[in-house]
């Protein structure tokens, strides 16, 4: 009854706009539903009244998305209580089609096709839905009354507008509901087919469902959770989903798609590289804890970078692994936020390494700053935490399951199948600003610092006739600085055109093994410091011997 009341409140607001005739029609439907509310024992509605309500739904309401949501819930309730002869009912208006089926516990499955559902109507792009026999099993365990399966097809996206104003294939939204039951986690999926006759070159197709927000006045969002995308032919998109709700195919502009053939090698490189980096980072942290009494500010900054890299690798492996399993929404949101925080912290500490390098080379004898490391820790750990917590407080839905579509070559077309899922940032705006933009600024700053450091090193060696050993050490220093400053993360901006395939492997290898490369840099610096200490001790010993 709450859904009916919500729909009625929506109608009252909508009557404030429109002419007198439309208002009278709305009030007739309003008084009809008020009668239903006051007489709960008589809930049956006729097909004529349903058609009148469906036509009312098509009237313009501006951007009042919460009113349209109330109308959808009201239509669902009315269809579940509709009175009609036979076992099925079909109703059609200009942009909405409603279907009702009476089911029994001996249900063996159902296939619906637009070719048989819309005879004699204006031609539309075909669509189909296939329901498995498993659909009624849970409902029949709890009650023996007749079940009703309702299907509501919207041939417009006006009822499902998210904040990103996403584009949908054919502007189709196909929905289904089994009585008042929540149908989830089906072992045999519901298959939804969308046919089209348009060119999809440059688009990424993803099967999604409409996820309503908790707040009545906020817009919903499209989520790929529980759905798998497949393209059996150039003109068909097939969605396999393990639940019942409202489904559509999301169209997103994509300059480059990941070839499915590269999924296995890239995942293997990522798994091996991140695992080795985790072990290497742990070793460095343990060595630092052992000798922390003799450490200076430079070593402490290095250790914070190692900790951030360790967190990043652990969060990445958990995100990509747990997203495959059915993870609760809140758990995936928390994991995505943790991964985002680890990435921002890692990028920030890379920039701090660049800033510290500038101070070391540019202000050799004037580098005292009160509570220097503490202030850097507030910057490196505090700023990313503030950004992520702000996003969670304002709009937590920016984090969640994120599907990476794979393009695989079939005989004469491109398909999309077996999407790679991970818990990550779902909002394109947040991804553009606080992932690509933030990372781009940090990488640009460190590239400038690296170029300046190389210039300083070249100026230092200009007046010297450096032997081959010194030149070798300079080369190692340059490579070490390149790793320390994380400049390889700038490869993320070359994922287009002919650079795509080389960039995929270079970026995956360099950044998966980033923790291991830092470990090698740490070992080289440690050996260099020990060698200098031995040389200094030998010099002191020889001077003492000469004095005696």
Average pLDDT over residues 216-226: 75
pLDDT at residue 432 tops 60: yes
Higher pLDDT: 380 or 548? It is: 380
Which position has the higher pLDDT, 41 or 301?
301
pLDDT of residue 414: 44
Confidence (pLDDT) at 323: 56
CA distance 107 to 140: 10
Reported as a pLDDT band with limits 50, 70 and 90, residue 114 is: confident
Report DSSP state, residue 166. -
Instruction: Give residue-wise pLDDT tens across range 124-142.
Output: 789 999 999 998 888 887 7
Q: Is 283 exposed, middle or buried (0-12, 13-18, 19+ CB in 10 A)?
A: middle
* Rounded Cα gap, residues 514 and 352, in angstroms: 17
Q: Between 326 and 473, whose confidence is greater? A: 473
Report the percent of the chain where pLDDT is more than 90: 29
Percent of the chain past pLDDT 70, that is, above it, reads 73
For residue 538, pLDDT over 50 is answered with yes
Taking 50 as the threshold, does the pLDDT of residue 451 lie above it? yes
C-alpha 51: how far from chain center: 39
Contact 385, 236 (CB under 8 A): no
d(CA 511, CA 496): 19
Q: What is the pLDDT of residue 278?
A: 96
Model pLDDT, residue 533: 67
Look at residue 105 in the predicted model and tell me its pLDDT.
Answer: 84
- Average of pLDDT values for 201-224? 76
Taking alpha carbons only, the member of 33, 29, 77 closest to residue 52 is 29
Residue 416 has pLDDT above 50, yes or no: no
Confidence class for position 196, pLDDT limits 50, 70, 90 = confident
Average pLDDT over residues 142-148: 72
User: Which range is least confidently modeled, 215-219, 359-363, 405-409, 511-515?
Assistant: 215-219
* CA atoms of 122 and 282, how far apart (whole Å): 66
Q: Can you tell me the distance from the alpha carbon of 291 to that of 21, in angstroms, rounded to the nearest whole number? A: 84
Statement: residue 2 has pLDDT above 80: no
pLDDT band at 497 (very low <50, low <70, confident <90, very high): low
Q: What is the value of pTM for the model shown?
A: 0.64
The C-alpha angle with vertex 57 and arms to 56 and 60, in degrees rounded to 5, equals 95
Residue 339 confidence (pLDDT): 95
Residue 548 Cα distances to 378, 535, 536, 537, 545, angstroms: 53, 20, 19, 17, 5
- Per-residue pLDDT, averaged over 512-530, amounts to 85
Residue 384 banded pLDDT, cuts 50, 70, 90: very high
Pairing of strands 221-223, 203-211: antiparallel
Indicate the Cα dihedral angle 157, 418, 503, 431, nearest 10°. Answer: 40
Is the confidence at residue 268, as pLDDT, over 50?
yes
Provide DSSP, 50-112.
HHHHHHHHTS--TT-HHHHHHHHHHHHHHHHTB--SSSEEEEE-SSEEEEEEEE-TT---EEE
Instruction: Quick: pLDDT tens for 13-36.
Output: 333 434 444 444 444 554 555 455
- pLDDT (0 to 100) of residue 106: 85
Select, from the ranges 54-58, 357-361, 390-394, 493-497, the one with the highest average predicted confidence (pLDDT): 390-394
Which pLDDT score, from 0 to 100, does residue 5 have?
30
Residue 12 has pLDDT above 50, yes or no: no
Phi first, then psi: give them for residue 164, nearest 5 degrees: -85, -5
d(CA 258, CA 8): 47
For the segment 514-523, the average pLDDT, to the nearest whole number, is: 89
- The residue among 81, 52, 82, 56 whose CA lies nearest residue 68 is 56
Which residues are bridge partners to 167 per DSSP? Answer: 251
Provide the token pair at 332: 């995936």
Q: What is the pLDDT of residue 273?
A: 95
Dihedral Cα 420, 421, 425, 426, nearest 10 deg: 90
| Cross-strand pairs, 241 | 190, 227
Per-residue pLDDT of 316-363, as tens digits, reads: 998 877 655 555 668 888 999 999 999 999 999 999 988 988 888 776
pLDDT of the residue at 201: 67
Mean pLDDT value across residues 526-541: 70
Q: pLDDT averaged over the chain?
A: 79
Question: At residue 390, does pLDDT exceed 90?
Answer: yes
* Cα dihedral 138, 224, 152, 20 sign: positive
State residue 407's pLDDT score: 63
Please tell me the predicted confidence (pLDDT) of residue 40. Answer: 47
> Helix (H, G, I), strand (E, B), or coil: what is residue 117?
helix
């Amino acid at each position: 009854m709450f859904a009916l009341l919500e729909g009625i409140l929506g109608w009252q607001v909508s009557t404030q706009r429109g002419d007198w005739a439309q208002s009278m029609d709305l009030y007739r439907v309003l008084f009809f539903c008020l009668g239903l509310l006051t007489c709960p024992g008589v809930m049956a509605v006729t097909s004529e009244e349903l058609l009148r309500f469906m036509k009312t739904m098509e009237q313009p309401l501006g951007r009042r998305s919460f009113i349209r949501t109330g109308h959808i819930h009201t239509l669902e309730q009315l269809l579940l209580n509709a009175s009609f002869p036979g076992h099925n009912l079909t109703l059609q208006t200009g942009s909405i089609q409603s279907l009702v089926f009476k089911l029994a516990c001996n249900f063996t499955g159902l296939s619906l096709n637009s070719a048989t559902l819309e005879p004699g109507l204006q031609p539309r792009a075909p669509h189909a839905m296939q329901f498995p026999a498993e659909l009624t099993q849970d409902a029949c365990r709890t009650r023996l009354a007749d079940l009703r399966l309702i299907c509501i097809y919207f041939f417009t996206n006006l009822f499902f507008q998210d904040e990103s104003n996403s584009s949908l294939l054919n502007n189709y939204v196909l929905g289904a509901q089994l009585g008042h039951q929540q149908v989830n986690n089906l072992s045999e999926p519901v298959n939804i087919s969308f046919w089209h006759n348009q060119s999809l070159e440059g688009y990424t197709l993803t099967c999604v469902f409409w996820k309503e927000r908790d707040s009545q006045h906020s817009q919903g969002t499209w989520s790929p959770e529980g759905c798998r995308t497949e393209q059996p032919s150039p003109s068909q998109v097939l969605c396999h989903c393990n639940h019942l709700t409202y489904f559509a195919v999301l169209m997103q502009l994509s300059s480059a798609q990941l070839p499915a053939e590269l999924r296995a090698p890239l995942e293997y490189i990522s798994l091996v590289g991140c695992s080795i980096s985790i072990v290497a980072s742990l070793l460095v942290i343990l060595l630092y804890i052992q000798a922390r009494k003799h450490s200076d500010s430079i070593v402490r900054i290095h250790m914070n970078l190692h900790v951030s890299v360790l967190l990043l690798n652990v969060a990445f492996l958990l995100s990509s692994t747990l997203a495959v399993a059915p993870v609760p929404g809140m758990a995936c949101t928390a994991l995505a936020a943790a991964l985002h925080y680890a990435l921002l912290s890692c990028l920030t500490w890379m920039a701090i390494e660049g800033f510290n390098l500038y101070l070391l080379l540019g202000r050799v004898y004037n580098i005292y700053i009160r509570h220097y490391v503490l202030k850097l820790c507030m910057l490196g750990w505090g700023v990313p935490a503030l950004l992520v917590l702000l996003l969670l407080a304002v709009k937590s839905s920016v984090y969640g399951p994120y599907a990476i579509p794979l393009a695989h070559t079939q005989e004469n077309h491109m398909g999309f199948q077996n999407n790679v899922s991970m818990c990550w940032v779902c909002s394109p705006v947040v991804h553009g600003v606080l992932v690509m933009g933030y990372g781009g600024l940090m990488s640009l700053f460190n590239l400038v610092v690296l170029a300046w450091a190389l210039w300083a090193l070249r100026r230092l060696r200009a007046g010297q006739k450096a032997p081959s050993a010194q030149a070798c050490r300079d080369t190692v220093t340059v490579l070490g600085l390149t790793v320390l400053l994380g400049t390889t993360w700038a490869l993320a901006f070359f994922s287009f055109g002919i650079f795509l395939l080389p960039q995929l492997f270079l970026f995956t290898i360099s950044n998966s093994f980033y923790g291991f490369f830092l470990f090698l840099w740490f070992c080289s610096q440690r050996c260099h410091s020990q060698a200098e200490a031995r040389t200094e001790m030998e010099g002191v010993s020889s001077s003492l011997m000469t004095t005696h």
